[in-house]
Amino acid sequence: METPRRTVLAAGAGGAAALVTGCSKYGDEGGGSTSDRSTPAAPDTGGANEPPKSSAPAGEKLAQTSAIPVGGGKIFDAQKVVVTQPTSGEFKAFSAVCTHQGCLVDKVADGTIDCPCHGSKFSVESAEVVDGPAPRPLPPKQITVSGDSIMLT
Ligand code: FES
């Protein structure tokens, strides 16, 4: 039993190492050829030419706007966020954690965000409680729509 597992692990590690080596070599060549024009003799500065951090996006990208159905929504389990589009072009985001006992909502259908645990339903437009034992609306979350990307901010 142990021998086949070891063999698989060793092969996996070797493959990963080869991939990393290949990538970094390729990147160094590309960066060196463009940056060496301004710095005459600097063969080892490949790593110093990283792009500035300002190019990083302002928030975590959740989805394309086209992934959110009009009149419905989509749940992002990892971020515990539900994004809805009550009317075309209008996007809203709420916590996906039910205000009753903390289950994650698991469905958006028929204009409501539904919790599987005890049947609470929340409006896709306002996250107000429509049905069930939940005592409060789902708290709002901040998103930014940039072009066709929805970012969690
Ligand atoms: Fe959602 Fe009870 S935890 S309805």
DSSP state of 52: P
> Which residues constitute the domain of residue 143?
60-152
- Is 28 a member of any domain? no
Q: What is the pLDDT of residue 117?
A: 98
- Is 117 a member of any domain? yes
The sign of the torsion formed by the CA atoms of 89, 95, 100, 106 equals: positive
Which residue's C-alpha comes closest to atom 4 of ligand 1? 118
Query: Is ligand 1 within 6 A of the CB of residue 100?
Result: yes
- By most ligand atoms within 8 Å of CB, the mutation choice from 75, 112, 120 for ligand 1 is 120
Q: What are phi and psi of 140, to 5 degrees?
A: -70, 150
Q: What is the pLDDT of residue 96?
A: 98
Query: Is ligand 1 within 6 A of the CB of residue 133?
Result: yes
- Is 68 a member of any domain? yes
Which residue's C-alpha comes closest to atom 3 of ligand 1? 101
Identify whether the C-beta of residue 143 lies closer than 8 Å to the C-beta of residue 62. Answer: yes
- Is 21 a member of any domain? no
How far apart, in Å, are the Cα atoms of 63 and each of 39, 83, 112, 142? 41, 9, 20, 14
Identify whether the C-beta of residue 104 lies closer than 8 Å to the C-beta of residue 80. Answer: yes
- Is 138 a member of any domain? yes
- Between residues 5 and 91, the one the model is more confident about: 91
- Is 67 a member of any domain? yes
- Is 80 a member of any domain? yes
Could you report the per-residue pLDDT of 45-102, keeping only the tens digit for each?
454 555 555 444 568 899 999 999 999 999 999 999 999 999 999 999 999 999 999 9
CATH at 124: 2.102.10.10
Tokens of 10: 């060793």
- Is 128 a member of any domain? yes
Q: pLDDT at residue 121 above 80?
A: yes
pTM over 0.85: no
Segment 28-41 mean pLDDT: 45
Q: Could you give the number of structural domains in the chain?
A: 1
